[in-house]
Amino acid sequence: EEQLVESGGGLVQPGGSLRLSCAGSGFTLSDHYMDWVRLAPGRGLEWVARSRSKSYSYTTEYAASVKGRFTISRDESKTSVYLQMNSLKTEDTAVYYCVRLGPSGNYENWGQGTLVTVSS
Amino acid sequence: DIQMTQSPSSLSASVGDRVTITCRASEGIHNDVAWFQQKPGKAPKSLIYDVSSMQSGVPPRFSGSGSGTDFTLTITSLQPEDFATYYCQQYQSYPVTFGPGTKVDIQ
C-alpha cells in the first residue's frame, strides 16, 4: 500500500524552529515531485513548498510567505522528505500535509497531517 | 499569482440533490485544475484533476468540467458521506493556489 506518514509537529514558541518529516512507503519517492501543504484554522489550504523529483535534481520552490524561513529537503536512503521550519510565526500554525504528485502535476496521495502550533 | 475564487462559500442540501460548485480563476488556465474534498480532522481527498479526470476510487457521481477561467464540480446525487468542504486548485503556475472552499452541509 502506498503511504505517506508525517511526524515532527508540536508546540513551539514564536521565533523557534521545527523539523517535519514525511516517510513514504510502497512507491519510489525519488520518482515523484513532493509538496508540503498546510491548513490553518479558518484559513483554507495553502501550498508551502515543493521538491522536484530526482530527474530534476530535487530542485525546490517555495511560497512567498515561507521563503527564506522554510527549507524542503530529502533523504533518499530513508525515503523521506523534510520541512525545516525556522523563525516560526503565529500565522504558521496549521496542520501540515505531505503530498505526492502524479505525472500531470496533480496531487495523488496525501499524508494524514501533523499539527504545528506556534504560540507563546 | 493566479487567484482562485469559489461560489457559493457554503450551501445546504439534501441527500439525493444535485450540487454544483463553481471556481473562477483570475487568468486563463489550460488544463491544470483539481478538486479536493475535506472532512474535519481528516486529510484532504483528491477527487478530480486535469479539469475532468477522476482520481482512482472516486465515485462516478463526482464530475468536473470547465475551461479558461470558469470551472465546475458537480455531485449528481448527494450522499450522506459527501457533506464536507470542497476546494479547487490550480497547478498551472507557481505558486500553486487553492480556492477558499465551499462547505456543503445538511439542509
Q: Among A35, A56, A120, A72, which residue's Cα sits nearest to residue B44?
A: A35
Q: Is the pLDDT of residue B13 over 80?
A: yes
pLDDT digits (tens, 9 = 90+) for A8-20: 999 999 999 999 9
Contact A97 B94 (CB under 8 A): no
Distance (Å) from the alpha carbon of A77 to chain B's nearest alpha carbon: 26
pLDDT digits (tens, 9 = 90+) for B80-89: 999 999 999 9
pLDDT tens per residue across all 120 residues of chain A: 999 999 999 999 999 999 999 999 999 999 999 999 999 988 899 999 999 999 999 999 999 999 999 999 998 776 999 999 999 999 999 999 999 999 999 999 999 999 999 999
Q: Cβ(B85)–Cβ(B102) under 8 Å?
A: yes
> What's the CA angle centered on B31, arms B97 and B104, to 5 degrees?
55
For the beta carbon of residue A69, count every other beta carbon within 10 angstroms.
15
Q: How far apart are CA A114 and CA A71, in angstroms?
A: 17
Order the strands of the B62-75 sheet from edge to edge: B4-7, B19-29, B62-75
Q: Which helix (H) or strand (E) holds A34?
A: strand A34-40
Q: What is the per-residue pLDDT for A42?
A: 85
For the beta carbon of residue A23, count every other beta carbon within 10 angstroms.
17
State whether residue B72 is helix, strand or coil.
strand
Q: What is the per-residue pLDDT for A41?
A: 86
* Structure-block grid coordinates of residue B47: 477527487
Of A50, A64, A107, the CB nearest to B46: A107
Q: How far apart are CA B47 and CA B28, in angstroms?
A: 22
Contact B98 A106 (CB under 8 A): no
Q: What is the per-residue pLDDT for A77?
A: 79
The residue of A36, A39, A45, A104 whose CB has the most chain B CBs within 10 angstroms, and thus the best one to mutate to test that interface, is A45
Contacts of A42 (CB under 8 A, 6+ apart): none
Q: Is the pLDDT of residue B106 over 90?
A: no
Q: Is the pLDDT of residue B107 over 90?
A: no
- Alpha-carbon distances, residue A94 vs A39, A90, A97, A99, B15 (angstroms): 5, 9, 9, 15, 32
pLDDT digits (tens, 9 = 90+) for B40-58: 999 999 999 999 999 999 9
Q: What is the per-residue pLDDT for B90?
A: 98
Q: Cβ(A6)–Cβ(A97) under 8 Å?
A: yes
